[in-house]
Structure 1
């Protein structure tokens, strides 16, 4: 999928099928119930940023669930990939949801802020410098909480995904890219080892990791990720 010259129709099918895969492996419903819904209100509007939103299935689910629960939530989903943006904006519109072709750094430069910042299955795509930059951007963009969910690398995760997807998704990149993603993802110990102070990692099912941050009580303090970035600049 990262190949700019990959088959366009196979990529379209991949975006279309992500909603089925993420319904099983993303743990999104748990994240919504446990981390997001308690921050929402029926009277006070809240904002959420989905970084690296791909085909938009995560953002769509969150927007729908908030409406279903009678909660006020505006969702902004960003992805720099023109192909992902074209697919996402080509789907039926949902009130309170907007897609933008952008990097997180673009929003930081514009001085934008959101109550909740999250990503799904983005971390394993990043090198060390890119991960550090994302965490700095996330702290600058979030008022309340940052939630970066990703796959946990584990032999059983690889075996289970391989067997579970083998009869399906033959004409998309779901299976081959999914297996590659598992091989590239972090273990719990690895992610905890690179997380800056102030960030914590928790293990979730099935074979998932959640990298989480909340702003310190003194909002004037320089963020921990930013301190690390400056120290290594």
Structure 2
């Protein structure tokens, strides 16, 4: 898998049947819980929270889907006595509808809104701007644009969690999607996400093109990496 294969995923189809969309979001939520995606972001949230005093830490989650990661972060923060204010956005009104129901069911307050990050600017500034398993949906040019917008909106950190492209990861995702969900949308989109994903080196280079100078990137099991950009002048 030396080069990316970027073709539309079924979840990106605005005409996808509502029931299939909701089933796919539930499947992704289950996979995210199993892979502990929220914990990869949480340690960076803790690092920033330690340096801002008593004021709430403001976070924006791009392409939030079902909002499972913001919900997990809010629960972790509550258990540790850390004040968070999380906004979350998605281009899909259907995803925002599902996310709203999930937040109500979890008794968690997250400000949810629709935003097309490819066309629109992020309307506010946040301590941390993050996205999870979103960048691989984009062309290289789009990814640089999104990273640049994230950098402009963040005052302390940008955190990107995504899949990494290689054959072993493709095999792991192929099996995991079939074990963890019955969604045929996820069965297609999961392995395709690996084919479309960036390598660590590719993503690091894109972040540099977006203007980041203080970067770290680490591989994480299973199948992922975490890219962290510290905004100039912050630790």
Query: Which stretch has the larger CA shift, 209-218 or 131-140?
Result: 209-218
Kindly indicate whether structure 1 or structure 2 has the higher relative contact order, using CA contacts under 8 Å at least 6 residues apart.
2
Residues 138 and 92 of structure 1, relative CA distance in 2, 3 Å threshold: closer
Q: Which residue of 2 aligns with 1:224?
A: none
Flag the 1:127–1:91 CA change in 2: closer, same or farther, 3 A: same
**Per-residue deviation, 1:17:** 2.4
Against the structure 1 CA distance between its residues 139 and 167, is the aligned structure 2 distance closer, same or farther, given a 3 Å change threshold? Answer: closer
Q: Give the distance between the partners of 1:25 and 1:91, measured in 2 at CA.
A: 19
Give the direction of change, closer, same or farther, for the CA distance of 1:134–1:155 in structure 2 (3 Å limit). same
Matching residue of 1:97: 110
Calculate the aligned-residue CA RMSD, in Å.
2.1
* Partner residue of 2:91 out of 59, 80, 83: 80
1:124 paired to 2:136: yes
Q: Conserved in 1, the CA contact under 8 Å of 2:66 and 2:102?
A: no
Equivalence for 1:23: 33
Following the alignment from structure 1 to structure 2, what is the Cα–Cα distance between the partners of residues 117 and 168?
29
- Tell me how far apart the structure 1 counterparts of residues 102 and 30 of structure 2 sit (CA, whole Å): 16
Q: What are the ranges of 5 or more consecutive residues in structure 2 without an aligned counterpart?
A: 1-10
- How many residue pairs end up in the alignment? 215
Larger mean CA deviation between 206-215 and 66-75 belongs to 206-215
Distance 1:50 1:57 in 2: 11
The question of whether the paired residues in 2 share the 8 Å contact of 1:13 and 1:172 is answered with: no
1:203-229 CA-to-partner distances (Å, cap 9, x unmatched) read 2222212222111129xxxxxxxxxxx
For residues 22-60 of structure 1, the C-alpha deviation after alignment (integer angstroms, 9 at most, x for no partner) is: 12335321331x211232268321100001101111111
Residue 2 (structure 1) aligns with: 12
> Is 1:170 the counterpart of 2:179 in the alignment?
no
Deviating more after overlay: 35-44 vs 136-145: 35-44
